[in-house]
């Protein structure tokens, strides 16, 4: 079971710092989901004592999350190890992740990965190959999760969500 919650403390503003708490317990006998939630609440309260007015986002997981794609921080963590992606690789991955189960054409990804704008004159084969190379590198860096990016022949690429993958999105900026 993985749950998440977002909390805006009283008096927080849209410019308040944001804190992401990932609470993971690897021992399955460590307690119930309620115990895990109580632990997360205690950690959140402690964090708010240190950062008054901070907005918090908590991910509760009874075990380690094998893959975390942190969009706001532009980070990728695979099996608790940070994975370095180039700027273009991260832009392509983020674009796909923000559109789960939607086929994104190579033409839509080309400006992200190849340094082209849609109005530039370029060799179509070279542009398509550049996107393919970036996607291949992303899959390689994702290791056993490389299959979350599917090639849709003749159309483009698609991100297929996996329950073992946690995507951290930017928090909504709402006032209390």
- Strands of the sheet containing 165-168, edge to edge, are 81-82, 75-78, 67-70, 165-168
**52 and 139 belong to one structural domain:** no
What value does the mean pLDDT take over residues 33-38? Answer: 72
Average pLDDT for the chain:
77
Q: Within a domain: residue 169?
A: yes
**66 and 54 belong to one structural domain:** no
The crossing angle, in degrees rounded to 10, of helices 87-97 and 124-142 is 80
Q: Please, which pLDDT band fits residue 163 given cuts at 50, 70 and 90?
A: confident
Residue 5: strand pairing partners: 58
Q: Within a domain: residue 1?
A: no
**104 and 132 belong to one structural domain:** yes
- 67-70 and 165-168 beta bridge pairing: parallel
Among 64, 55, 63, 53, which residue's Cα sits nearest to residue 20? 55
The residue segments making up the domain with residue 152 are 62-116+127-175
Q: Among 45-59, 107-121, 149-163, where is mean pLDDT lowest?
A: 107-121
First to last CA, the chain: 29
**36 and 90 belong to one structural domain:** no
**39 and 98 belong to one structural domain:** no
**154 and 76 belong to one structural domain:** yes
The answer to whether the predicted template modeling score (pTM) of the entire model surpasses 0.85 is: no
Residue 158 has pLDDT above 80, yes or no: yes
Highest mean pLDDT among 19-28, 40-49, 89-98, 167-176 belongs to 89-98
pLDDT of residue 26: 57
CA distances from 138 to 42, 49, 72, 151 (A): 37, 39, 18, 13
């Amino acid at each position: 079971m993985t749950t998440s919650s977002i909390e805006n403390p009283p008096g927080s503003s849209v410019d308040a710092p944001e804190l992401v708490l990932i609470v993971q317990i690897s021992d399955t006998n460590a307690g119930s989901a309620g115990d895990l939630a109580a632990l997360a609440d205690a950690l959140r309260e402690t964090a708010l004592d240190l950062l008054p007015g901070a907005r918090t986002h908590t991910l509760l997981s009874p075990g380690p999350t094998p893959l975390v794609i942190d969009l706001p921080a532009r980070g990728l963590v695979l099996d608790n190890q940070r994975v370095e992606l180039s700027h273009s690789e991260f832009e392509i991955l983020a674009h796909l992740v923000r559109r789960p189960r939607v086929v994104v054409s190579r033409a839509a990804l080309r400006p992200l990965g190849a340094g082209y704008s849609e109005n530039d004159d370029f060799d179509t084969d070279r542009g398509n190959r550049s996107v393919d190379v970036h996607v291949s590198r992303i899959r390689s860096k994702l290791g056993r999760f490389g299959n979350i990016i599917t090639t849709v022949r003749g159309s483009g690429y698609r991100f297929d969500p996996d329950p073992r993958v946690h995507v951290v999105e930017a928090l909504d900026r709402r006032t209390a």
